[in-house]
Structures are given as C-alpha cells and as structure tokens.
Structure 1
C-alpha cells in the first residue's frame, strides 16, 4: 500500500525515494526495482501488466551532494550558454553557485579518471596539432629548403622565404568565399549544405595553392624566374620534360643526345660497309669524295660554300662536336670548319708529324678542303697545346 507523501513498494513495503516502477493497469501499484526484477506479484497486480518508470531524480550520480536532476541541468546549461559563462549557468541550475558549478564540472567531467579522462582517447583522429612554440621558447625555424634568392629578388617577387609565402598568393581572393559565413542554429538543411559546399571550395583552393608552392620548390622556379642555371632543351622534348624533376630532365636530355650521336655513328658505319670501306683512313677519304659528289649534284660553285653559309653556332651542332674541347670548338668557329673535317685534318697532321719523327718518308695526302692558312693555324694550335712538341708550321 502507498501513503500520500511517500510511495511504498507493494511487495516489500519499502519507501520509494528515487527510481521505481509504477503499474499502468493497477491503480496505486508501485514496485521497487529489485522486486520488479524478480517478477513479484501481489493482490491484483501481475508481472505481465504494462508499466512505466518513475524517476524522481533525487539520487546522486557522481557526488553525494549532486543529484541526477542537477547534473542534467548543469550539462544543459553548459550546452546552452557555453563553457565559461558560469553565471548564466548558475541561473539555470537553481541552488548552485557559479564557482561550485565550475569546480564540479572540471573535477567530474574533465579531470576525473572515471568519467573525464577515461572518455578521451589517447590519440584523437583528425586532431589539429599546434606547432607554434611556447612563449618562453625560442629557436630557429626549420625551413624546407634554403632559399638562394637575394634580398632584391625577394622584394621583386614579394616573396617571404622564412614562411615560404608570397604577398600575392595564387587565387588571392579565395578567402572571400568563406568570409561571410556565420553559423546559425536556425539554418535549414539547404543553408547548411550550401555553407559546407563553400568551405569545400575554399579548401580545394588551398590545396591548389599548396601544390603550386611544392612544385615551385621542387623545380626551383623562383631561381629560374631570374634565369639562374637555365638549361636549353630541344623543343620537341619539352612535352616530356615538364613531367620530370630537374635531375631527371637533365639525365633524360643527356641520354637523348647520346642516342642521336650513336644513331648517326651507326648510319655512317652502314654507309662505309655498303661501299666496302674497312679502315678509318679510307673512311676519311670517302667522306671527302662523298661530300664533293653531293655538292656536284646540288650544282654548288664553291666546295666550301655549304659549310661557310651556315651560322657559326650551327657548325658546332654537327656530328663530332662532342669530341672537341672548348678551345677546339673556338678554333673550328674561327676556321669556319665543321668538327668532322677538323678531326680528320688533325689526325692527318699528327700522323705526318709522327712519320717525320720516325724517319718514314711516306707523304701524307691531305684532303682538298684543307687550305694552307687553315692547316697553319691547326699546326700552331696543336704545337701550343703539346700535341706536336718542337714543331713549327710548314
């Protein structure tokens, strides 16, 4: 039976102060949780009847002087007014001071090993890491790469190497997309989705900005903007080189040039083999006669007009240029002689010198394109560089 003020369990007759069960079919039938769990039945009440849970909220949950109702009001007040606005939360939780609310919240929900820290994982996924040093710490910044740009060039580019940033970034007005976004609890799903879409667009622009900075660092574009250490690559290779790093591009261009030289060598060897030539001396004579026949077919007046009409820089792009030193290249430019002819003339001059040194009287036949003043300059050059010790021009 129940009294007017204190409900009692109809089975064990204990007073019910906190949570108890009330039958929805029997009037004035209340049961304590232990009797309800055992399926107790009394008078007209059956354990098959419908029931409802009565929660007075007067029992403690964490601390003895804090009831469940007060804990609930505290969390609702923090959710409504925010952490730190303890005076407003105190007005929401009657009977508690602002200082008591703050101390109880941090003690029970933040610093507690049972409820606070136990619910916080050791490693928070997608957490934000603060890399800024403390106020009492000093030290140099760890830069990704030392900049080789001078102060004057930094000023021209508006470049800040310590931050690896530019005053005028790529898509510099990207921040205007989110500058007017303000969270509002009254936003509809459409408003929320629109704001999320704007944030996604802004993040994509930041990724593109970061990607461009990475490319500028990896390919040294800041230095190359001022034509530092620039390389001249064949135009037909640019479509391939743009997808490579600097070292890969240099290696690829070098291998490509070597491939072209080897192909040219193979082509010449096939031509020699076709005409039955087996010695390099015979090959030099064949080259001379072959060029003469070619000029005759083109009805050229002067034997040297083809090579003399070429620009001097283009003469050095001919086959055999990679065998010459920088001084020999300059000599070829002054003589207006292609590298293959210079190498042939040089070989015959050295051969003639060695025959004279060993007393061999066989006369060396020089090609018809080698003029006297050219031979004299080549002999002087070879003697000056130690190829012909003690020799003088003849």
Structure 2
C-alpha cells in the first residue's frame, strides 16, 4: 500500500465514491489498475469488495491519505497545506485568524512553524538564491550581441530603416505606436461611483482586467524584441547570413518559435541543425567516395577534379542540345545566339528566348532498328512516323481495335478512345487510318 497526499481539505472537492456515491473523506482507496479516470472507493465499499465493470476486488490498490509528516513530525501534510491556505486567505502576521481557520493548532504554533520552515529555512533560501542567480546569468548571456546599453541606429523619421525598426525611437527607448495602440480607449469613459450596482461594478472591474491583460501582452512582445536583439534588424540579418541557404530557410521557418524559447536556447537549436546539415552533407560526400571505390583523400581530390570536368562537359552538351532545339527555326536560333553572346560578355540578355512549349510540329519518328518495323507496310510506317508511335505499340492497338470491331460488328471513335488509353489526337488518327484502309468499320 502506498500513502499519497490529497491536498484538499474540502471533501466536496473530491470525486464521489463509485460504490455508494458518498463524498470521500480520508483515508480512501484508489484502484491502481483502473483508469483514467481514477476509480475511487470509500473504506466501507472497499471492505465489502465492491466490483463494477472492469474493476475487480482483487486489483492492486493505493491508500489515499495526507496523514503523514513532511517538515515536522507533529504536523501532517494536510495541516501544512491548511496553514499555507490560511496564510494566503488571512494574510501574513494575522496568526490568530490563521489559527482559527485551521482549528487544530494554536496561534503560537502556527507562527513558529511558518517562520521556521517557510521563512528561515536555509534549504528554501539557498534554492531561491540559486534560481535567481541562474536567471541573471541567462539574461546576461543573450544569443544576439545586443544589450540595453547598445546604441541602436537613429534613422530619420518615416525612412526605410525606421519602418524596418517598427518606428522605434532610440532616444526614448520606445515605439511611436505601441502594440494594441488603442487599448486605453476602453477605459476612457469608465468612472467608479458609489451608486453603481454590483453587476455594473463587476463589469467595470472585468474591463480593467481585460486592459491589464492587454498591457501584459504589450510588455511580453517588448521583452521578446529586447531579448532577441530585434531592434537592430540589419545587424540581426548580417548574423543570419553566416549560415548556408538551407539553414537560413530553417531559421526563417523557426523564427515564430523564438517567442517560446529564450535567445540562447533558440540559437542553440539553430546551431544544432546547422551542424546536422554539415554532417549530413559530409556523410553524403564520403558515401559517394566509397561508392566510387575511393579509400583515401588523395584519390578523393582527383575524383573531385574529374567530376568537375565531367559536369562542365555535361553542361556543354546540354547547351548543344538546346541549340539543336532551335536549329530548325532560323530566327529562334539567331535570338538564342545573341542572348548567349550577351551572357558571355557580362551583359543582361535583352533578346528573349522563345518558349519551347510553343506549338511546333515535332520531327518524324525514326523507325530504324525499332522492333516490329518489318511487320508494317509503307502506309503504316508513314503513320507511325507522323504520329510518333513505336511499331510494337501500334500493332497492339491495331489488334485490339480490330478484335473489338469484329465482336461489335462496328466501332465508334468513343469506343476506340476507351479501349486504348493514349492521346486522343493520336487515337483519332489511328482510328481514321484503320477506317480508311478497311481494317475496321464504323458502327
């Protein structure tokens, strides 16, 4: 059995017993195998062996109680929580009211225990001091080298740099327009008077609370700007350019998470991804060497040199194939040559290259050496050349259409298109050719 603390004094705060539906009071039993939600039983139902749905009486269980000491052998955990709640309700120093609310300890016992364990406890004091020092160190080590003492640039009003800095005024260390700049307008007509009803007074208090939350959001955004050094935007962008293109894209994508992480954690996150990118690129390069049978870096340098030469040769062949695309059109070829001359001389090309997606008749297909060519007659060869269809595919389409025509006693163009799934224009040309040559008939 395990004793666990339940820090609520009010039994109505606990869920009811699953057996008798009565409000639970400590100690009570919690099934360790059922849940969530937790399956809780009072001691009476537990002793009767109450079972419900999946819960069985032989399940392991836990005794839920706060009747055990934490800081002082004479104070239970429930009394510790009662003391903290009483001090919160009555205020520090009102020990008589605290003792009256607790009902189990005297005024002197409450004061002595609270001062000893919650005020003068060296363990708590050292822990709070360490947390405060760690927080100060974290604020001092900002990721971007920007501190409040830095002098941001002072651009002229309404200039490009001023707009980049969101209207920041270095002399006042503030912005021309605040975030949610008109938040104060909701308070301009509010006046608290004694004749207000309770509902009206509560509504006015709610409006003030809303205004307070909007001010907190304004300060939160200012803190993000200050901690991450976003005031001096140009300096921030220069620091970003030290990363390769892929990491810069990641930086831009993950910038929205900077509001969640601190400046140091955010930059560590980006740096770790930059390191991962470099490692992956190096591993890929080494794997390429290994696939090429290279086992030392001297051979790797020779391989890189030869690979660069091969890439340049491949680029030249690509340029030659591009020229061959325009060789049949003299004007397009002349424009392409003029453009390349401008590029080689370092000038901006002024002659646009015509798009290769324009409608131009493709050259006839060369059937030399293609399988099935010997089975075609001259008219069929001419059709395959003009339609740019290999003989083997044409023979399959022809056989399918002829068989379907024999079954149906005729064939429509729509049936031919449903039978052979190719370009509709090619299908029409094949269909018309077979009709013209008498291989098939129209339905």
Classify the TM-score, shorter chain.
0.3 to 0.5
Normalized per residue, the structure richer in helix is 2
Q: Which has the higher contact order (CA 8 A, sep 6+)?
A: 2
TM-score by length of 1: 0.34
